């Protein structure tokens, strides 16, 4: 159930019986011919589908993250690291104040990695608070499934090309793109990165069949649901 579909009284009632929630975070950044909000769409959707049978509330997704390397692509929005961490800190503080104690951060963007270190700090400062950072696409079974489909799975490639991340008139090119030199890419300023990447796909096929993508998606949903279920620390 989504927080957007609840009022405060329903949240208060829920917290009398459970203290878990899902907090999806994503980014708004270039994904070749796909939506700029791929990471946001996927984080929110996988969290909602995973949480639904468990009756666990899902917060609205945080749509902005750390994407300075893509800032030469129009539509990309990037926060400063301190801004991301400040917002994350305030959200967690608000959740804890309300009574949430077990929080799964469903992350859809690799650039948001710094929140993992902050989560450890917040748990040290707040005994009884448990925060899991779940990079849903990189979780063991989900990544294994992706690699079983195609060993070359990367940013803005087929791996992120779901029916719900496509845009009108954003047709995927045919074939396979050679993998970019990732070590070189990490050293590039935004304009250089755009010249190196072209459309933005790091490498691999642009698109797979919808049936294969549905198989991958169901693994991701199931693995996310298991993270929500536990194990959790015993607070008794």
Residues 3-223: name the CATH superfamily. Answer: Creatininase (3.40.50.10310)
Could you tell me whether strands 20-25 and 130-135 are parallel, antiparallel, or unpaired per DSSP bridges?
unpaired
Whether the predicted pLDDT of 171 surpasses 60: yes
For the record, the structure tokens of 183 come out as 């070590």
- For residues 103 and 110, give the distance between their C-alpha atoms in angstroms, rounded to a whole number: 19
Can you tell me the mean pLDDT for 44-65? 98
For the record, the structure tokens of 232 come out as 């959790």
126-144 pLDDT, tens digit each: 999 999 999 999 999 999 9
Residue 234's pLDDT band (boundaries 50, 70, 90)? confident
Whether the predicted pLDDT of 204 surpasses 80: yes
Whether the predicted pLDDT of 191 surpasses 60: yes
Report pLDDT for 217. 98
Nearest of 27, 36, 119 to residue 68 by alpha carbon:
27
10-32 pLDDT, tens digit each: 999 999 999 999 999 999 999 99
Domain ranges within the chain, ordered by starting residue: 3-223
């Amino acid at each position: 159930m989504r927080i957007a579909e609840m009022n405060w009284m329903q949240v208060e009632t829920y917290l009398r019986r459970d203290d878990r929630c899902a907090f999806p975070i994503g980014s708004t950044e270039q994904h070749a011919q796909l939506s700029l909000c791929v990471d946001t769409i996927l984080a929110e959707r996988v969290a909602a589908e995973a949480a639904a049978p468990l009756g666990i509330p899902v917060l609205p997704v945080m749509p902005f993250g750390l994407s300075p390397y893509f800032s030469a692509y129009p539509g990309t929005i990037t926060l400063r690291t301190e801004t991301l961490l400040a917002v994350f800190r305030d959200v967690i503080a608000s959740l804890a104040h309300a009574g949430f104690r077990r929080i799964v951060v469903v992350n859809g963007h690799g650039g948001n990695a710094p929140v993992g270190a902050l989560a450890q700090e917040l748990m040290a400062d707040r005994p009884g608070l448990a925060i899991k950072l779940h990079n849903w696409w990189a979780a063991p079974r989900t990544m294994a499934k992706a690699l079983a489909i195609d060993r070359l799975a990367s940013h803005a490639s087929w791996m992120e090309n779901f029916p719900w991340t496509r845009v009108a008139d954003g047709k995927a090119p045919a074939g396979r793109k050679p993998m970019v030199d990732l070590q070189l890419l990490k050293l590039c300023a935004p304009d250089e990165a755009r010249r190196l990447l072209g459309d933005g796909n790091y490498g691999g096929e642009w698109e797979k069949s919808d049936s294969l993508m549905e198989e991958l998606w169901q693994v991701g949903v199931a693995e996310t649901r298991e993270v929500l279920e536990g194990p959790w620390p015993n607070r008794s």
